[in-house]
């Protein structure tokens, strides 16, 4: 007796669940390398700057390709792009486990970044097509929760396999799992986004100049900068938390991995809470308050004046993670609000390109600061990135209030 074949489904719950599962894998693979940094550093003799470059090389194609990928989503549909993203990223991670040296690792990270560029434009296009307006905050929160669950799992799973069986085995195993998920998504997800576009104005014939003019509106440019600073902070935390706690506080490497998992676990909890908060309060101020509190906690941590014990480290990163998570659904709803009609793929691709730019430059900048100046200064910079991103969203909110009062 054989297993029943999966059927194509386009209902809201299934699409949100399937896309959220892909988002979990996306974030898992974004964090596949940092938990292995101590092993890579010892085996390959790499500096912190060289380790940070692995993350930056992955972020480069994400930065460059998300906008054209978003345009592709709006033309051929989100399902094909989504499946391609899962498959390419998984295959590249698997191949990274076969890398003979540092240059091959960089090449694999680059290809993984090509796959990663598919996720956000396709994910948010699929969500915008199926989620009801009154449940938008909760829909985005489930999707973002999946991403943070991936972040939370990666240090324990990848780091655990790496310690037990080596960094190559860790990458081979985790890459193989993603290939199976890509096959599942390929046979079960239908053309839900194309069906959604059938009921909207056709943008496929719009000229490139017209599309760019839409994307370069003052608000979307501001959101581009907001995402850039936000990702500079987040990528810095996910890349150097272990190094920071080991070097700055003298804690064991295992505590660094636990702290990173705690950060993402509490981010995931914050995301779920943020979904309900976003559907009830002004999204601008949800973002501003949450980021200011995350930045203030990071600034205190950067002083290295806290007690160097495990419970303090875990508690501090839990607080930063919770505030970082609460604002995520509000962030996504903010972009959805300002996206021009029938251009969800392009709009999310554009602003996430800003995030990728931040993710690209942040690890190298912070790695250089750690190598040449101070480990504490690197986390103070992360606090400044949090604060700067909150200022941009506050400015957008005030601008809306001024326009409303003039009207």
pLDDT in tens, 98-144: 888 889 999 999 999 999 888 877 887 777 777 666 666 666 777 77
Structure-block tokens of residue 153: 């799992």
Task: Tell me how many domains the chain contains.
Answer: 1
DSSP secondary structure string for all residues of 163-213: HHH-HHHHHHHHHHHHHHHHHHHHHHB--HHHHHHTTS---TT--HHHHHH
Please report whether residue 3 resides in a domain.
no
Cα 326–chain centre separation: 14
Residues 6+ apart with CB under 8 A from 158: 28, 31, 32, 35, 36, 170, 171, 174
Tens-digit pLDDT profile for residues 202-253: 444 455 555 566 666 777 888 889 999 998 998 888 777 777 777 776 777 7
Quick: pLDDT tens for 296-318: 998 888 887 766 667 777 888 88
> Torsions phi, psi of 189, nearest 5?
-100, 130
Question: Does 78 fall in a domain?
Answer: yes
Between CA 24 and CA 45 the distance in angstroms is 31
User: Would 240 be classed as within a structural domain?
Assistant: yes
List the structure tokens of 354: 């800003």
Q: Is residue 1 part of a domain?
A: no
The alpha-helical segments, DSSP class H, found in 45-101 are 48-76, 78-96
Segment 373-390 shows an average pLDDT of: 87
The answer to the question of residue 201 being in a domain is no
**Dihedral-angle region of residue 374 (phi above 0 means left; psi in -120 to 50 means alpha; beta otherwise):** beta
- The answer for residues whose C-beta is within 8 angstroms of residue 209's C-beta and 6 or more apart is none
39 domain residue, yes or no: yes
- Does residue 4 have a pLDDT over 60? no
Is the residue at 4 inside a domain? no
pTM passes above 0.75:
no
| 329 within domain boundaries | yes
Helix (H, G, I), strand (E, B) or coil at 9: strand
Q: How far apart are CA 131 and CA 127, in angstroms?
A: 6
Domain range for residue 380?
Answer: 12-195+207-406
CATH number, domain at 302?
1.20.1250.20
pLDDT tens readout for residues 140-166? 777 778 887 887 788 788 888 888 888
């Amino acid at each position: 007796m054989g297993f029943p074949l999966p059927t194509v489904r386009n209902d809201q719950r299934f699409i949100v669940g399937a896309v959220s599962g892909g988002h979990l894998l996306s974030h898992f693979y974004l964090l596949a390398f940092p938990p292995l940094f101590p092993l890579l550093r010892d085996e390959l003799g790499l500096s912190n700057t060289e380790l940070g470059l692995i993350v930056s090389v992955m972020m480069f194609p994400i930065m460059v390709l998300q906008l054209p990928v978003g345009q592709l989503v709006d033309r051929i549909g989100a399902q094909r792009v989504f499946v391609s993203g899962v498959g390419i990223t998984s295959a590249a991670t698997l191949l990274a486990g076969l890398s003979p040296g540092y240059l091959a690792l960089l090449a694999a990270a680059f290809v993984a970044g090509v796959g990663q560029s598919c996720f956000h434009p396709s994910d948010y296009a699929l969500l915008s097509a199926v989620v009801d307006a009154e449940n938008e905050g909760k829909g985005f929160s489930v999707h973002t929760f999946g991403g943070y669950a991936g972040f939370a799992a990666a240090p324990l799973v990848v780091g655990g396999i790496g310690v037990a069986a080596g960094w190559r085995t860790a990458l081979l195993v985790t890459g193989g799992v993603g290939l199976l998920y890509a096959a599942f998504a390929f046979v079960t997800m239908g053309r839900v986004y194309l069906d959604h576009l059938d009921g909207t104005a056709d943008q496929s014939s719009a000229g490139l100049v017209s599309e760019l003019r839409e994307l370069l509106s003052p608000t979307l440019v501001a959101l581009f900068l907001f995402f850039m600073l936000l990702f500079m902070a987040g990528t810095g935390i996910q890349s150097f938390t272990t190094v920071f706690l080991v070097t700055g506080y003298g804690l064991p490497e295992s505590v660094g991995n636990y702290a990173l998992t705690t950060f993402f676990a509490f981010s995931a909890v914050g995301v779920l809470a943020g979904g309900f908060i976003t559907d009830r309060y002004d999204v601008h101020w949800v973002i501003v308050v949450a980021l200011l509190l995350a930045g203030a906690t990071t600034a205190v941590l950067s002083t290295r004046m806290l007690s160097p014990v495990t419970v303090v480290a875990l508690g501090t990163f839990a607080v930063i993670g919770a505030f970082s998570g609460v604002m995520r659904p509000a962030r996504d709803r903010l972009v959805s609000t300002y996206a021009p009609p029938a251009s969800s793929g392009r709009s999310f691709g554009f602003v996430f390109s800003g995030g990728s730019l931040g993710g690209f430059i942040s690890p190298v900048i912070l790695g250089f600061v750690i190598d040449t100046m101070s480990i504490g200064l690197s986390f103070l910079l992360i606090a400044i990135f949090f604060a700067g991103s909150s200022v941009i969203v506050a400015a957008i909110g005030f601008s809306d209030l001024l326009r409303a009062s003039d009207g």
